[in-house]
Amino acid sequence: MLEQAITILKYEYHIAPGSYFHVETPWVKDISEIKTVIIDQDNVFTKMLSIYPNNFVMFLEQFPDYSIYRTNFPLELIPESDTYRV
């Protein structure tokens, strides 16, 4: 099931430099439940995959001018905040 979740990251969120991006995951009780793999990193950009419980997957691709977050579930922006809800 997880292999399928990783290949279907069809939701994409573009974030401007300096902007805050937080995903609310109430089913995660402890940060150690999230597995993170840094794929590539230098002083300019990062590529990182985070695997959460309940098969939620988020991929970060960071560039000098913006960042892209890709997920396998849609996110909803909570009004008047920088926080997204799965």
Give pLDDT tens digits for 3-55.
555 568 999 999 998 888 999 999 999 999 999 999 888 877 789 999 999 99
pLDDT at 33: 97
pLDDT at 20: 86
pLDDT at 5: 54
DSSP string, 42-69: -SS-EEEEEE-GGG-EEEEEE-SS-EEE
pLDDT at 41: 80
Geometric angle at alpha carbon 22, from 20 and 28, rounded to 5° = 160
Global confidence as pTM: 0.83
